[in-house]
Amino acid sequence: MTSPSLDKSTPAAGTSSSGGEPILRLSGVTKNFPMRSGVFGRTTGSVSAVAGVDFELRKGETLGLVGESGCGKSTLARLIMGLLPVSAGSVEFEGQDITKLSRSGMRPLRREMQMIFQDPYGSLNPRRRVGSIIGDPFAIHKIADGEDRVRRVKELMELVGLNPEHYNRFPADFSGGQRQRIGVARALALRPKLLVCDEPVSALDVSIQAQVINLLDDLQDELGLSYIFIAHDLSVVRHVSDRVAVMYLGKVVELGTAERLYTEPRHPYTNALLSAVPLADPDRAAQRKRLVLVGDVPSPVNPPSGCRFHPRCPKAQEKCAAEVPTLDSGEGVALDPDDLAACHFPVLPGEDLTQARSALTGVQATPEAVFGAIGSNPGSGDPTNRDSTNGDSTNSGARA
Amino acid sequence: MSEQAGPDATIPAPVTADPAGPPKRPGPPPPPTASPGKSVTARTPLQLAMARLRRDKVALAAGVLLILLILVAVCAPLIAKLVGHDPTTNYPDGIDASGLLPVPVTPGPGFLLGADQLGRDVFVRTLYGARISLLVGMVATAIALVVGTTVGLLAGFVGGKTDTVLSRIIDIFLSFPFLVTALTLVALNRDAFGQPRISPILLVMAVISLFTWTFFARLVRGQVLSLREREFVEAARSLGASNFRVMVVDLMPNLVAPLIVYATLQIPLNIVFEATLSYLGVGVRAPTASWGNMLFDAQASGYYQTQPGFLLGPGIALLLTVLAFNLLGDGLRDALDPRSSRTMAKD
């Protein structure tokens, strides 16, 4: 989504890549899940799910969050929503640190920030009527009841394209797309400023995905919402996001405008991830070389030292194993908050990563589709690259 | 029980067409208008379950029988008046003194099921016994249901130390031998003059619920453990719902179906418990009529050999009641959870 045209409801919201007031600021957000074992539940270790994430979300902006399964995207969403306590760091919503708020202290903020869940089948209570599900926010925050609540719920149903007459039905009476609209209606009930969408379309088929994405887009224009949009479908994220953050093993490895990040990815991991995006054109797909990472995602129980990506990185050097790279604009590049990568040796435009070989481990990204390697290598995770013809080197794309 | 989604997830009610196609931008699509001609009505899970239940002839018959039984129990004084006998009077004409030894009369016009060893009307006493059985069975089950559900909800939802403590309490209760403890408790219910301190009926109810709430607690805890991980609980939390609200508004509706089934199957067990206690002489005591103490009287006096109604009256009543509750419970389980093993014929 390119900068959405804003209506009068959000006069101050800027969507350009550099301006805009932040609505949400994350600094050093960390979450470790303790691992317990034995009868007495001794803590024997911890899973580092999110390890020091910093970013800002501006008013009216959509920030895409991508990464493979298990990289901490959903955990981060729950940390932002205060559904999980953070282990360290702070989440500031409109200047207020919400990580230290109690549950009751958090309640007023719930009206400002809402979440859309991944699974439209699991996120709606199967035993309750749609009208009462959508009316929940009004009941919880004691905003409206009786006739007034019914009227408001029906308005919301109309807003998201549901028939208000279906007020008394149960979730089972609706299709997947309709259910996700119910989830959207519930999230919008309190007119929030921020919507955290945790893979809102992953469970839907492609035509319904388009419906829901367009609905979210339209609502952003109408209501001036800010979105955090989590997905593992890279093309969906490119379509909806102003800026995109790429996560790997609990860390943001690259953050940039959607345009820049997709055409000139600087982090080797982003390169690999993007090279797994299927191309609709088989001729173009056949021409491109793909970057297949070697090995598996390391366990977050015992993450690698230094740069968490270094054991699989074709450009890794001594420094990568020793020093944790900061999320910055890189050496010799003018500092631009929309162009950040956490890499000691960022990929330069035009560089062919398939030729690179790690100085540290000798790891080389597999340039060709080797069936054995692909079969045993989940490589780039969610955007599954089962089809070898999908291979493409992003560097050719970067030159374009 | 691993099912959580309930019947509504598998048998969706008829749905009208999806708001077809992606919305025309800008603006969401207009809501679809109801398709003319064929009217489609959505049915609630309860309606669907009742429709399934109506197709189950056995459960239906059991339900009808139970309704009759409850009516008879409620109207017992009325019927006693019609018959002309009350349950506790020793009628002289109930004893046949014409033979060598006086024996209770056999079933006949005056005494429909004959008389017992003291000349009381077995038929009227059986009717009054139904009152006790149903009252004790239902009230004890209701108490166990409320206590068990509360404990199970707390243990399952709050988790952690609360769960550990409550689960251990449940384990302790389950490790008591029912009969021995019940006999002891009832025996302790005596004051210095040998009179019961509290009403034996109340005590029997209390003892039975004391031993059965654990089953409800375990059932609910197990269900809640799986329900609380569902996304709709997280959704409710993200809306700012309190723990109490999540338990009552979000979890309870999902527990209703298994609880109904379980309670229906627990009532007959509790009726048998009551009969057992009364038979052993520690439950409801004479002259109050209870099926358990009637069976004891019939067996102890030995008159059932000449007066079979003495034994058959309470015996058959107990059998029918327990059978009817069990069959209805089975039918309810099939109706509320269509994924259970028994398959229903298509209508």
Task: Using CA coordinates, name the residue in chain B closest to A132.
Answer: B249
Amino acid identity for residue B19 in this structure: P
- Among A303-307, B41-45, B91-95, whose mean pLDDT is lowest? B41-45
Tell me, yes or no, if A159 comes closer than 8 A to chain B by beta carbon: yes
Give the pLDDT of residue A399: 34
Of the listed ranges A103-112, B3-12, B119-128, the one predicted with least confidence: B3-12
Mean pLDDT over B59-78 rounds to 91
Q: Do the domain assignments include residue B112?
A: yes
Q: Do the domain assignments include residue B318?
A: yes
A41 touches chain B (CB under 8 A): no
Q: Is residue B178 part of a domain?
A: yes
Q: How many structural domains does chain B have?
A: 1
CA distances from A354 to A179, A262, A272, A308, A341 (A): 44, 18, 10, 20, 20
Amino acid A12: pLDDT: 36
**Would you call B9 an interface residue with chain A, using a CB distance cutoff of 8 Å?**
yes
C-alpha B152/C-alpha B214 separation (Å) is 9
The nearest CA of chain B is from the CA of A164 a distance in Å of 8
pLDDT value at residue A335 = 61
Q: Does residue B344 fall inside a structural domain?
A: no
The CATH number linked to B64 is 1.10.3720.10
Distance (Å, rounded) from C-alpha A160 to C-alpha A94?
27
Contacts of B31 in chain A (CB under 8 A): 157-158, 161-165
3-class DSSP assignment, residue A135 = helix
Q: Does B160 touch chain A (CB under 8 A)?
A: no
Confidence of residue B139 (pLDDT cuts 50, 70, 90): very high
pLDDT at A200: 87
pLDDT tens sequence across A185-220: 998 888 899 999 988 888 778 887 888 888 888 889
Q: ipTM strictly over 0.85?
A: no
pLDDT at B38 over 70: no
Q: Which residue has the higher pLDDT, A266 or A370?
A: A266
Mean pLDDT computed over every residue of chain A: 78
DSSP H stretches of helix in A227-281: 234-240, 258-263, 268-274
Amino acid B16: pLDDT? 43
The one-letter code for the residue type at A273 is: L
- Beta carbons of A137 and B239 less than 8 Å apart: yes
Distance, in Å, from the CA atom of B105 to the CA atom of A375, rounded to the nearest integer, reads 88
Indicate whether B86 pLDDT > 80: yes
- Across the range B259-271, mean pLDDT stands at 91
In this prediction, residue B339 has a pLDDT band, given cuts at 50, 70 and 90, of low
Longest dimension (CA), chain B: 103
Residue A8: pLDDT band (50, 70, 90) is very low
pTM for the model: 0.75
Is B231 close to A123, i.e. CB distance below 8 A?
yes
Query: Which of B23, B242, B253 comes nearest A127 by C-beta?
Result: B253
Contact of A167 with chain B, judged by CB distance below 8 Å, is answered with no
Rounded to a whole number of angstroms, the distance from the CA of A352 to the nearest CA of chain B is 40
Whether B44 contacts chain A with CB within 8 A:
yes
* Full residue range of the structural domain in which residue B231 is found: 52-336
Subunit contact B231:A119, Cβ cutoff 8 A: yes
Domains by residue range for chain A, with CATH: 22-33+47-241 (3.40.50.300), 265-331+346-399 (no CATH)
Among the listed residues A148, A176, A365, A394, the one whose alpha carbon sits nearest the alpha carbon of residue A264: A394
Residue of chain B minimizing CA distance to A162:
B31
- Residue A203 pLDDT: 78
Would residue B22 count as lying in a domain? Answer: no
What residue in B sits closest to A163 (Cα-Cα)? B31
* Residue B27 included in any domain: no
For residues A171-182, average pLDDT: 88
Is B13 in contact with A170 (Cβ distance < 8 A)? yes
In which band, very low, low, confident or very high, does the pLDDT at B39 lie, cut at 50, 70 and 90? low
d(CA A193, CA A112): 5
What percentage of residues in chain A have a pLDDT greater than 70? 80
Tell me if B34 is assigned to some domain.
no
For testing contact with chain A, the best of B231, B245, B336 (most A CBs within 10 A): B231
